[in-house]
Chain A
Amino acid sequence: MTPQPAATPPELKAQARELNFHYGAFHALKNISLPVYNEKITALIGPSGCGKSTFLRCFNRMHDLYPGNRYGGEIRLFPDDVNLLSQEVDPIEVRMRVSMVFQKPNPFPKSIFENAAYGLRVRGMNKKAELEEKVETALVNAALWNEVKDRLSEPAFNLSGGQQQRLCIARALAIEPELVLFDEPTSALDPIATASIEELMLELKEKVSILIVTHNMQQAARVSDYTAFLYLGEVIEYDDTKRIFTNPEKKQTEDYITGRFG
């Protein structure tokens, strides 16, 4: 889990290039350029309001849901090198490839099975056997299968908070995404549930690329391979996680990491 030495540079999954973002008149992201490597975990840290969630939500075009938002620059998704932010790209097509786990567990008012199967149904899958197989795989990957396999038809609300969040992870994984966005996935969970989600993320990066926003610096240090420190809508520093946390180049980064501000 330690970052690869620079000798064999990892493959790119996505690359933000001079990304700008406006909420109406507010310039929220300023000229952000950042790589997201394949089958690695990239963490975004920074104080509240620094734009890290805003940046994350550009990757699945969540901002398109609200009027008055404007993107500039581009986010390239590989291997096909397509600009996710292009006007010609349908946001729904983006979301077919890039899925997301939210801050608070947000299971749908449906059964556990139907929650995990939701994305598959959106993609037109209706065969029972196929759905069952994919749902089982997703629940196994989300480390939830053993706890729920006998109660798949129960409402998802019956699960505990940590289980609900793992169900949301299963929902995001079932569609076999190329990139999963985690928006402070453990901020509403207790330490034990948090530890299990972190462990899960480390297993997941074998198969999928992960971009995670976190408020918790220990979490970034524990799980991520690369870390970007954002402040006031700009990337102040980006590097191997180890270097960011042991020997940051910028004073601001060091101050934030050591808890002098934020």
Chain B
Amino acid sequence: MKNSHPRARKRRIKEQFIEIGLLTAACSSVAITFAIIFVLLKESLNFFAEVPLFDFLTDTQWTPLFDDAHFGILTLISGTVTTTLVALAVAVPLGLTIAIYISEFASPRLREIIKPILELLGAVPTVVFGYFALIVVTPLLQKIYPDLPGFNMLSAGLVMGIMIVPYISSVSEDAMRAVPMQLREGAYAMGATRLRTALTVVIPAAFSGLAAALTLGSSRAVGETMVVAVAAGMQPNLTLNPLQPAATISSFIVQVSLGDLPHDSIGYKTIFAAGLTLLLITLVFNVIGYWLRQKFREEY
């Protein structure tokens, strides 16, 4: 039974190998994240060596591939902001309504049926949503506005909104179901209806979780690529009018990545600056989300 027994030694060595293996796996994802940030920063520095930061932030045109090149990131940001706002205008009311229904009204059996179906919506490939926007939603919208261009941010934003409904509704529903039953009973005991209880007690109590749902949905919409690449057109356009076609940061990146630009050209380097901008925007959303969660956290 000594520790130096060959069997015990063999086992110890095996354990050590396993531990090192697990540690490597855990570190690799962190390492990859840092590698991405490193590459983005490094390439962006190369980019900013040629294009002044001031021009990048204030120029109103984005024509990096033209002879008369302009690098106004605002043009792309406007596309990202517009499509995101349209998407949230659809996803937040719809997602919250669904969450209220599932959490406060639906019977347990119905809930077990609805939730998986809704989550299936999240499993549809985004490129399918993109073609749905282009081929189904845009023609429908054109019946209402005949002047609507074939590529436009409204249609892309609406479909993107539908796409992120499951994210918003699922996280919101979890937050609402986590509200203790005794709080609801308190409201019911005062004679409140189900809807009143949901609106005046459950939603305020679940606010930090709802804020998390909102920021998750926003980050998703900001980073979404395929729907806007397919349906919103890829021409840079400084506008907040959703009836116009426009490029977003993500759709520009995909456009350049798929093109045949030489890797040391300034046009190619722009995608790193654009990527860094995208990363910063989602980072801001996450920080806001974190702050909201902390500020409105209720302990029961």
Contact = CB atoms under 8 A, between A and B. Distances in A.
A119 B185 contact: no
Contacts of A131: none
A157 interface: yes
Contact of B182 (A60, A96, A104, A171): A104
A100 B191 contact: no
B185 A122 contact: no
A103 B183 CA distance: 11
Interface string A80-103: 000000000000100110011011
A102 B190 contact: no
B190 A99 contact: yes
Given A102-B182, A104-B182, A157-B298, A109 B201 contact: yes
Interface stretch (B41-49, B68-76, B192-200): B192-200
Contacts of B196: 122
Contact of B191 (A96, A103, A106): A96
Contacts of B188: 62, 65, 95
B29 interface: no
B150 to A, nearest CB: 48
Interface string B176-189: 00001011111111
B191 A102 contact: no
Point out which of B108, B180, B189, B201 has the most chain A C-beta atoms below 10 A from its C-beta.
B189
A106 B191 CA distance: 15
A96 B204 CA distance: 23
Contacts of B191: 92, 95-96, 119, 122-123, 175
Given A96-B191, A108-B200, 10 more contacts: A62-B188, A92-B191, A95-B190, A102-B185, A106-B180, A118-B187, A119-B190, A123-B191, A157-B298, A171-B186
Interface of B: 107-108, 180, 182-193, 196, 200-201, 204-205, 207, 298
